[in-house]
Chains A and B, each alone.
Chain A
Amino acid sequence: MNNNLLDIQNLRTSFHIKGKAYAAVDGVSFTIQENEIVAIVGESGCGKSALALSIMGLHPTKTTTLEGQVAFKGENLLTIPQARFDQIRGKEIGMIFQDPMTALNPLHPVGRQIEESMGQHLALAKEERRNRTLELLKQVGIQNEQRVYKQYPHELSGGMRQRVVIAIALACDPVLLVADEPTTALDVTIQAQISDLLKELQNRTKLSILLITHDLGVVSELADRVIVMYAGEIVEMAEVATLFHYPLHPYTRSLLKSLPGQQSTKTALHVIEGIVPSIQKLDRSGCRFAPRIRWIPEQAHENDPQLHEVAPGHFVRCTCYESFHFPDDHIGDDNNAITGN
């Protein structure tokens, strides 16, 4: 046994559509260490949310097949009995959901929804649960916690609801937090507050976070390590500073280049050609990003692209990164996508 908190090996999540199975997560392997924040970045349809739900066992079992291994503290979550899984979910692994408007039960007061997992996992008296809930509400930055405790979700703003969702995830002091787009639905100032809160939690406790997001800003603020996903696969994985300063895979570089607002320049933004293929139409042979960088010669790609460790801890899929350049670049320009602020 090693000291990985979470060890995912060759995870494949397939959805059954009209009698056929299509993999949304297509052979993903990575680990999360204790007290580490790992971010998974990609655009809609890359499989990042499907990955998060696979870890939490939240896909409908009838229409989904899970293969591979999701080992949490040495136990494979894909094969343990449901009753054992329910002891881990909510207690050791907490999850923050994307849409605070729908993630809470409209018929229960907020306090009760936070206390529910404590009732499930901790032997606490009613009074202790209540005190702990009030404490949690304060911790996530809610000032009038006594009042919010009794309120219903529809009486709270989106930012407040997201804090409640976070409080639910933290209710039993989990060691791993799976956060699916925790800040996407929020205003910038609230986004910053939530980011700071998560960072502070990581510093204060031994918490590890798997951060699922499409927002590179949040990644840059929070992550220790970054995994970039495209079409169900990991295309690049590196330490956060390495990824932002020396991105290698064409997809990572394109994404970083298409971000607006580094400077106020009304020049055109970089646009990635084509669209993300749907899981039904995806061509699963060869480099999956190749159709979107057609100006790169075919022989630059591998036939069966593998993840290569190009520097310690820095992995890139396919060899095409070696000869990649943007159409308007000259071949041989350096790979530095961020030119300073």
Chain B
Amino acid sequence: MLTFIVRRTLIMIPQLVLLSLIIFMLAKAMPGDAVTGAAMSSPDMTEAQIEKIREKHGLNDPWFVQYGHWMKRALKGDLGMSYVHKQPVKKLLAGRIENTVLLAFFTLLVTYAIAIPLGLIAGRWNDTWVDKLIVGYNYVSFATPFFVFALLMLFVFSFVLGWFPTGGSVDIRMEEGSWSYVVDKAKHLVLPVLSGALLLTYGTIQYLRNDIIDTKVKDFVRTARAKGVPEGKVYSRHILRNSLLPIAAFLGYEITGLISGSIFIEMIFSYPGLGQLFIQSINGRDFTVVTALVMLSGTAVVVGTMLSDIILSIVDPRIRID
């Protein structure tokens, strides 16, 4: 078990190196470099001066030397300066990461809190009216475009009813660490989390429902019934755990998806997270930030798949290698 986790973790290293190489190459391939930007802001610099700065910053070195420098700095946490925000990228990301992770975590929590019971009910009592209702909800949520739904939520609960703030992650007047700060942060989260979660349940409900319908007629479930295990326990002990396997396997990917892909949510609710920053940076040609964000979401994918593999190996004894 431990060997498996260690080996699985070590496999990440070449994956991450490859990823960083690709991103570095793409960044290099973009027109201009750090000096081009500086040159534009001070138009009286001569070609020779620019060339000197290039030489000084190692921009004339072969690509692999440059890559080496870049990696070395990145490992130390130095991701360069943001051209637009005039501050280190690292500092810029710090607050955003916290916001996005909070958003992702609660969205996932609410998604599963809704989807697992609904999927279970629909699967256990399939083809009854309850099931039809749940499947109906599922189709509607799948067919609803996110931005329409999110705008509707915003309109109804923020503008009309005024229950929740229309944007941001926390009121700037709040004192960090106080109770009211936490409450306010939570208030800002409610709408983005709910709109995200209500539409995300589709996959989980559908998966769980179908898997339960398949599992409840399996031989080992029949064995459990023949032991005299009451139907409720047959579900909790035997069917549910087996049916949750594919969902557990997707957990890592879901987390990844939410961290690197909550662009829509963050844009509509003007929530200061990574997604919003990503769009802003692209619009502002802030390449150091874009590169860092791409690297970050790439790492999230690699870590997410590893998480999925490890979670699966914990819940399913059949794939515990060694």
Does A32 count as interface, using CB distance less than 8 angstroms? no
Do residues A56 and B226 form an inter-chain contact, with CB atoms below 8 A?
yes
Docked CA distance A165–B218 (Å)? 15
Contact of B225 among A88, A89, A165 (CB under 8 A): A89
A53 to chain B, nearest CB (A): 8
Number of chain B residues close to chain A: CB under 8 A: 22
- Could you say which of A21-29, A116-124, A210-218, A307-315 contacts chain B? A116-124
- Report the stretch among B12-20, B75-83, B310-318 that lies at the interface: B310-318
Judging by beta carbons under 8 Å apart, are A106 and B231 in contact?
no
Complex interface bits, B209-233 against A, C-beta within 8 A gives 1, otherwise 0:
0000000011110111111111100
Min CB gap B315→A, angstroms? 7
CA distance A107 to B217 in the complex (A): 17
The number of chain A residues with a CB under 8 A from chain B is 35
B226 touches A87 (CB 8 A): no
CA distance A103 to B224 in the complex (A): 9
Q: Are A86 and B317 in contact (CB under 8 A)?
A: no
Flag if B220 contacts A90 (CB, 8 Å). no
- List residues of chain A with CB within 8 A of the CB of B227: 89-90, 116-117, 120, 168, 171
Residues of A within 8 A of B318 (CB): 106, 152, 154
With the chains together, A165 CA to B224 CA distance in Å?
Answer: 11
Report if A83 contacts B (CB, 8 A).
Answer: yes
Shortest CB-to-CB span from B229 to chain A, Å, is: 6
Which residues of chain A in 151-207 are interfacial with respect to chain B, using CB atoms and an 8 Å cutoff? 152, 154, 165, 168-169, 171
CA distance A102 to B218 in the complex (A): 8
In-complex Cβ contact of B317 among A106, A120, A168 (8 A): A106
B228→A58 contact, CB < 8 A: no
Let me know if B242 is at the binding interface, CB within 8 A. Answer: yes
Q: Within 8 Å CB of A168, what residues of B? A: 223, 227
**Which residues of the partner chain B approach A89 to less than 8 Å between Cβ atoms?**
225-228
Other-chain contact of A103, B217, B223, B229 (Cβ < 8 Å): B223
Known pairs A86-B230, A90-B229; A107 contacts B219 (CB<8 A): no
Known: A58-B222, A102-B218, A102-B220. A107 touches B228 (CB 8 A): no
The chain B residue with its CB closest to the CB of A121 is B228
Residue pair A60, B217 in contact (C-beta under 8 Å): yes
A203 CB to closest chain B CB (Å) equals 24
Main secondary structure of the interface of A (DSSP, over half): mixed
Closest residue of chain A to B239, judged by CB? A105
Q: A105 to B225, alpha carbons, bound, how many Å? A: 12
Q: A58 near B317 (CB under 8 angstroms)?
A: no
Q: Is the CB of A83 within 8 A of B230?
A: yes
Query: Which residues of the other chain, A, contact B230 by a CB distance below 8 angstroms?
Result: 82-83, 86
Question: Is B238 positioned at the interface, with any CB of A under 8 Å from its CB?
Answer: yes
Flag if A88 contacts B228 (CB, 8 Å): yes
Cα distance A281–B228 when bound, in Å?
36
Closest to A118 in B: B227
Query: How near does chain B come to A185, taking the closest CB pair, in angstroms?
Result: 12
Q: How far is the CB of A157 from chain B (nearest CB, A)?
A: 15
A105-B224 CB under 8 A given contacts A152-B318, A154-B318: yes
Cβ-based interface call for A97 (8 A): yes
Q: CB within 8 A of A97: which of B223, B228, B229, B241?
A: B223
Q: Are the CB atoms of A104 and B228 closer together than 8 Å?
A: no
- Beta-carbon contacts of A87-127 to B below 8 Å, as 1s and 0s? 11111001101010011111101000100110011000000
- Known contacts A90-B227, A103-B219; can you find 11 more A-B pairs with CB under 8 A? A56-B225, A89-B225, A90-B226, A90-B229, A97-B226, A105-B223, A105-B238, A106-B316, A117-B227, A165-B223, A168-B223
Q: Which residues of A are at the interface with B, using a C-beta cutoff of 8 A?
A: 56-58, 60, 82-83, 85-91, 94-95, 97, 99, 102-107, 109, 113, 116-117, 120-121, 152, 154, 165, 168-169, 171
27 contacts between A and B (CB under 8 A): A56-B225, A56-B226, A58-B222, A58-B226, A60-B217, A86-B228, A87-B228, A89-B225, A91-B228, A94-B226, A95-B223, A97-B223, A97-B226, A103-B223, A105-B220, A105-B223, A106-B220, A106-B316, A116-B224, A117-B227, A117-B229, A120-B228, A120-B229, A121-B228, A154-B317, A169-B226, A171-B227
Nearest 8 Cβ contacts at the A-B interface: A90-B228, A90-B227, A117-B227, A102-B219, A89-B228, A95-B226, A105-B220, A152-B317
